[in-house]
């Protein structure tokens, strides 16, 4: 049994925008790369080029088709990593103190030296956010890129999580969710950010921004701009193209 701090000075975490995530998996690859080359033991793969490949990932993206009560079906891409919960059951269940939550910034980490690989924390986490590294025999999880965000050897622009830095859609945001004036808190307030499975009582720090309903095809005719001719007698390049096509 490991104790949690009663409060933390900051609540660093991620805000993930389910409206703009395109499911490209760039964050998954950036996370795997950074955490294999830097913090702790590499994230191992088993049978990577075989029939049943598996491996350790600290961030995964799942895709679902949902059908809202009104409007068309839509695809939602759902990136999932540790949510750095305030009431983290993965910490309190740990028999060795290897899992802990930092008082200064609220990041939940695993001390690999003290981890005995019992797997209790993975069983306790309701989000499936912990992964046992089969090669190292220790539990792994999102570190919030603790070795990037304070790393003075990196240019200032790179002192944010690898997944946030990489996301081409700008769907991932990082900051202090304990500060109501921070950019991430403002974003959550403006967009109605939500907790994942609040009924579990874990008080996740990470927040998700819900997808907006899509327009129906009747509302959005994407071909409409192309249906009206630009000109009956095209000039310039279009005129040349028109005449050239006529000769075919």
Compute the least distance from the CB of residue 195 to ligand SF4, in Å.
11
Output 138 or 144, the one with its CB closest to ligand SF4.
Answer: 144
Question: Do 242 and 232 meet the contact criterion of CB atoms below 8 Å apart?
Answer: no
Compute the least distance from the CB of residue 66 to ligand SF4, in Å.
16
Compute the least distance from the CB of residue 223 to ligand SF4, in Å.
26
Compute the least distance from the CB of residue 82 to ligand SF4, in Å.
3
Compute the least distance from the CB of residue 34 to ligand SF4, in Å.
6
Output 84 or 207, the one with its CB closest to ligand SF4.
Answer: 84
Output 163 or 185, the one with its CB closest to ligand SF4.
Answer: 163
Output 22 or 238, the one with its CB closest to ligand SF4.
Answer: 22
Compute the least distance from the CB of residue 229 to ligand SF4, in Å.
37
Alpha helices in 51-193 (DSSP H): 89-92, 120-124, 146-149, 162-166, 183-191
φ and ψ at residue 70, rounded to 5 degrees: -125, 150
Compute the least distance from the CB of residue 132 to ligand SF4, in Å.
12
3-class DSSP string for the chain: CCCCCCCCCCCEEEEEECCCCCCCCHHHHHHHHHHHHCCCCCCCEECCCCCCCEECCCCEEEEEEECCCCCCCEEEEEEECCCCCCCCHHHHCCCCCCEEECCCCCCEEECCCCCCCCCHHHHHCCCCCCEEECCCCEEECCCCCHHHHCCCCCCHHHCCCHHHHHCCCCCEEEEECCCCCCHHHHHHHHHCCECCCHHHCCCCCCEEECCCCCCCCCCCCCCHHHHCCCCCCCCHHHHHHHHHHHCC
Output 25 or 214, the one with its CB closest to ligand SF4.
Answer: 25
Output 145 or 185, the one with its CB closest to ligand SF4.
Answer: 145
Q: Which residues bind ligand SF4 (CB under 6 A)?
A: 21-27, 30-31, 34-35, 58-59, 61, 77, 79, 81-85, 88-90, 108, 125, 127, 129-130, 141-145, 161-163, 166-167, 169, 171-172, 202
Output 50 or 168, the one with its CB closest to ligand SF4.
Answer: 168
């Amino acid at each position: 049994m490991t104790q949690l701090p009663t409060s933390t000075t900051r609540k660093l975490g991620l805000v993930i925008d389910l409206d703009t995530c395109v499911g490209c998996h760039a964050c998954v690859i950036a996370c795997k790369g950074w955490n294999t080359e830097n913090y702790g033991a590499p994230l191992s793969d088993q049978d990577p080029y075989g029939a049943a490949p598996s491996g350790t990932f600290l961030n995964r993206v799942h895709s679902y088709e949902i059908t809202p009560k009104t409007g068309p079906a839509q695809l939602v891409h759902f990136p999932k990593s540790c949510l750095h919960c305030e009431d983290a059951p993965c910490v309190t269940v740990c028999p060795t103190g290897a899992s802990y939550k930092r008082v200064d910034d609220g990041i939940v980490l695993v001390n690999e030296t003290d981890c005995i690989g019992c797997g209790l924390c993975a069983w306790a986490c309701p989000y499936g956010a912990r992964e046992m590294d089969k090669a190292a025999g220790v539990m792994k999880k999102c570190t919030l890129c603790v070795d990037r965000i304070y790393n003075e050897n990196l240019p200032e622009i790179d002192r944010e999580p690898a997944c946030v830095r990489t996301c081409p859609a700008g769907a991932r945001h990082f900051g202090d969710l304990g500060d109501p004036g921070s950019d991430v808190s403002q974003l959550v307030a403006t967009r109605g950010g939500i907790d994942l499975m609040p009924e579990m009582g874990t008080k996740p720090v990470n927040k998700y921004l819900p997808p907006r309903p899509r327009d129906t095809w009747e509302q959005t005719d994407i071909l409409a701009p192309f249906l009206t001719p630009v000109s009956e007698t095209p000039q310039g390049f279009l005129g040349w193209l028109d005449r050239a096509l006529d000769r075919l």
